[in-house]
Amino acid sequence: MLALVAPSILFMALFFVAPLGLFLFRSVDNSEVPGWLPRTVAALSSWSGAGLPEEPAFRALAEDLAALSGSTALPLLGRRLNHDVPGFRTLITATGNRVDPARRGSMREQLIGIDPRWGEPLYWQTIRRERHALTWFYLLSALDLRYGAAGGLERAPVESAIFLDLLGRTLGISAVVTLICVLLGFPVAATMAGSSPARANALLILVLVPFWTSLLVRSTAWVILLQNQGVVNQALVGLGVLEKPVPLIFNRLGLYIAMVHVLLPFMVLPLYSVLKGIRPELMRAAASLGAAPWTAFLRVYVPQALPGLVAGASLVFVLALGYYITPALVGGPGDQMIGYFIAYFTNTAVNWGMASALGTILLLVVTLIYLALGRIVGLERLAVR
């Protein structure tokens, strides 16, 4: 029996869990520094971090950098350290290409002669701080935090602290989209649940059509429709609602329109399946017991609808959080969500530590929501027996 499940489990383990695990690990992976500066790291481990280290550390660095000279490791090390301190990249590459540990004399003098920045504590402190195989640097940066000069944690300078804003924006957009989906989806699901089977079926098909159409195609449709001369603007101007076309795309409004469209079926379908099971006799019973219709609705209908509402809303919210395609096609520069930056750091900035850190935080938020969902709705209801 277990043998039958084995191939699938193997696929999952090798091509899903392992990649994901490695990806998350990259958020703390710091193999570059200890790997490429072994002597320096060893020499700095006994250094207090105050002022400048002693001559042996300079010699160790000279030897390490000289060993890297001519290989691609040198610029990659420079790239890595540049994340900590802008400018480190040129410092590393220039020094590595010019340093000569075999030359007589103080290495300290030689290094500072090549670039005076080696006389500044900041650069040495950075190497010392990043000497371990693991680092908190990326995760801290993703939360707009960093190590202070004194060694404790401090907030990143306000002018470049974008990641908490990004997280907030992502959560905010997802929340608004979820809210709209609830407001629009509830009436639809309720109507479907209260209709005859034939009509409910017809309505269901209308909801399934967009559900089955791929996300990309739907987003594409909105890109076409929301243009300045697109159908929506044309209709609004033609009907006299607007004087001239309004920008509907590459902004937050267009993003909401497209995202709600894409996610609405995920709200309606679970909600409908729950509402379908609510017995109308209970509402009538409440009425016959003297409850006003509004009271009956609030105290009999809604509590029973709640699991469906919560399931649908959580699903919509979590899906919205991780969206990349729709915001990329329909949103403006200020509407990009976490997914965009994960892709940006992966592809363009080639800062895989940051991409992974952002991904880790996203995953954390998603997990927390699912755990909360599990507790509210009751995990058993979601399990397949």
Partner 1 sequence: MPKPSRLWIALVVALTAWTGIAHAQTKLVVGNAGGSSADAERKVFYGPFAAANKIQIQEESFNQELAKLRSQVETGNLIWDMVSTTAINVATGCEEGLLEKIDWSKYMDPKVFQDVGGLSECGVPYLFVSGGLAYDGNRIKEGPKTWADFWNVTKWPGKRGMLYRAEQTFEVALMADGVPPPKAMEVLAAPGGVDRALKKLEALKPNIHWWKNGAESITLLSSGEVAMAYAWNGRVASANKTNNLNLKMELGAGHVSGCQYWAIMKGSKNKELAIKFIQYAVSAQPQADFVRVISYGPANRDAYALLTDQEKATLPAKHMDKASLQLGKLYLGFWLANGDALLQRFVKFAAQ
Partner 2 sequence: MAHPPPITALEQASHVAIRILTVLVLAYLVLPILVILPLSFTSGELLIYPLPAWSLRWYRELATSPLWTRATWNSIVLAVVTTLVATTAGTLAALGLQGLRSRLKPALYGLLALPLVIPPVMVAVALFYYYARLGLVGSFWGLVLAHTVLALPFVVITIAATLQGFDVNLPRAAAGLGASPLQAFRKVTLPIILPGVVSGAVFAFVTSFDELLVILFVGSPEQRTLPRQLWSGVSETMTPAVAAAAVVLISVSLILMAVVEWLRRRSDRLRAGASHP
Kindly tell me which residue out of 124, 250, 272, 301 binds partner 1, with binding defined by CB under 8 A. 250
Identify which of 342, 357, 344 has the alpha carbon closest to the alpha carbon of residue 29.
Answer: 357
349 binds, among partner 1, partner 2, none (CB under 5 to 8 A by kind): partner 1
By a kind-dependent CB cut-off of 5 to 8 A, residue 161 interacts, out of partner 1, partner 2, none, with partner 1
d(CA 341, CA 355): 7
Considering only 6, 72, 150, 375, the residue that binds partner 1 (CB under 8 A) is 72
A 10 A CB-CB count for 208 gives: 13
Q: Which stretch binds partner 1 (CB under 8 A): 114-122, 179-187, 291-299, 326-334?
A: 326-334
CB of 131 to partner 2, least distance (A): 24
Nearest-approach distance from CB 209 to partner 2, in angstroms = 6
Helix then strand count (H, E) for the chain reads: 22, 2
Q: Is 250 in contact with 330 (CB distance < 8 Å)?
A: yes
β-strand partners of 153: 147
For partner 1, the binding residue among 27, 40, 82, 360 (CB under 8 A) is 82
CB of 350 to partner 1, least distance (A): 5
Q: Which tokens belong to 91?
A: 């410092």
Q: Quick check: 99 and 111 in contact, CB under 8 A?
A: yes
Neighbours of 285 (CB within 10 A): 13
- Residue 162 or 368 having the CB closest to partner 1: 162
Amino acid at 375: R
User: Is residue 36 part of the contact set for partner 1 (CB under 8 A)?
Assistant: no
The Cα 123–Cα 101 span in angstroms is 20
Our CB check for partner 2 shows the closer of 103 and 385 to be 385
Local structure of residue 29 (DSSP, 8 states): B
In angstroms, give the least distance from the CB of 237 to partner 2: 12
Position 351 contacts partner 1 (CB under 8 A) = yes
Distances (CA, A) of 250 to 224, 335, 336: 12, 8, 10
Nearer to partner 2, 23 or 147 (CB): 23
Give the shortest CB-348-to-partner 1 separation in angstroms. 5
Q: Is 160 in the site for partner 1 (CB under 8 A)?
A: yes
- State phi, psi for 153 to the nearest 5 degrees: -90, 145
Residue in the block written with tokens 């908190």: 136
79 binds, among partner 1, partner 2, none (CB under 5 to 8 A by kind): partner 1
* Per-residue burial over 111-131, b = 16 or more CB atoms within 10 Å of its CB, e = otherwise: bbebbebbeeeebbbbbbbbb
User: For partner 2, which is the closer residue by CB, 26 or 128?
Assistant: 26
Residue 359 corresponds to which tokens in the numbers above? Answer: 């991904």
Judged by CB under 8 A, the number of residues near partner 1 is 33
- Given the rule CB under 8 A, which of 52-60, 205-213, 292-300, 346-354 is the region that contacts partner 1? 346-354
Among the listed ranges 6-14, 86-94, 189-197, 260-268, the one in contact with partner 1 (CB under 8 A) is: 86-94
366 binds, among partner 2, partner 1, none (CB under 5 to 8 A by kind): partner 2
Site for partner 1 contains 240 (CB under 8 A): no
Q: Looking at 27, 30, 40, 93, which residue binds partner 1 (CB under 8 A)?
A: 93
Residues 324, 340: contact at Cβ < 8 Å? Answer: yes
Cβ proximity to partner 2: between 50 and 383 the closer is 383
Q: Does 170 bind partner 1 (CB under 8 A)?
A: no
**Which residues make Cβ contacts (< 8 Å) with residue 256, sequence separation at least 6?**
173, 176, 177, 180
Largest CA distance in the chain: 101
Which helix (H) or strand (E) element contains residue 154? strand 153-155
To which residue do tokens 């969902």 refer? 373
Pick 112 or 328: Cβ nearer partner 1: 328
Which spans of this chain sit near partner 1 (rule: CB under 8 A)? 71-72, 75-76, 79, 82-83, 86-90, 93, 158-162, 165, 169, 228, 245, 247, 250, 332-334, 346-351
